Structure 1
């Protein structure tokens, strides 16, 4: 690990934690709800995804066995708030079938699979990209896999850790290669990044409010300079 990068990343996390407190993420009542939420939050705000989850729960459908057997025409109307609801209905049903058939609808059975093997299995599912897959690995299976999203790339490119438009893999390596593999740390770090990106480091950032704008006294955001 590069000592300076490690120190910078840890101090950024510490500054975010001091500003926002522990984020207690992922907000879900059950592991399966987290899995469904990871699918529903693709390309939409968490608020919309949460409404779709509430609709499934209210309809008594937030159950892997029921969703595995359901027609997508029955799932789609319940998840309209999540956008792309026809596609997501198919993804939820397909994932539920795999979860029931291969893992007996048991999150512990899923978590018992070796990380790389499980990641490849989930990535093979239609509509499962790296962010959705890694969200399940980290937040359900407690695997030390750092989840990357648009906020991560935006914030850390602005601070010069990454080139603008950095790939998912390059961004993930920044954290994986410079922090100890700690699922608890990766969990809250990602949540802190989401909080910062959603409230302060927006496309038009509120730099004067940013808790990491002067970490170590030398780290500076390219957007907020001058």
Structure 2
């Protein structure tokens, strides 16, 4: 997932940048990151939140009251996603892989990839991480179903017009998030391939025809983010994925 400028977010969400600044400064509804030069940067999660705020405002709710609604809705949603995690766990524990595959297929019709990744898949994978053999087996089954499902989605998307992108892992051990990030990028209009193995060192010059979407883990090292910024300044088509 890439970072977005306020101008790009305004286009994606069909909203005036002045309004976005007001939502941040006056109503504390947004918390964008800042570049060294002070420019705002937004994530996919920020974009989802902006669209949710916009839905409330479009229904007639005053902006000053939206924050409370977001907090209340967040608590209810957290409980709902926890219940969904338990449902997936039951499929894994009972070995109902076909039912799990069908459940995932149905979920992709109702929720954006980023929402499923952040609210369901990543928390569930964290719960299964560890040395216990049963959990390791369940995590392996879940990852297999995820990668298989996402691979089909990515293959289908290549039949559509769009820009090519390659998801690359840079010095990470867990490769499943590469496929999750590829899935998110696919929904953003990219025609995605995923590099099967993480690279200990990254050389963007090896991929001259591709936009690189680089995954460095949930929290990238400062030197990695700085190096990617330098490559961008040198003209390379490269973006840092972040959740």
> Is this a same-fold pair by TM over 0.5?
no
TM (norm. structure 1) is 0.30
TM (norm. structure 2) is 0.28
Structure ranking higher in strand proportion: 2
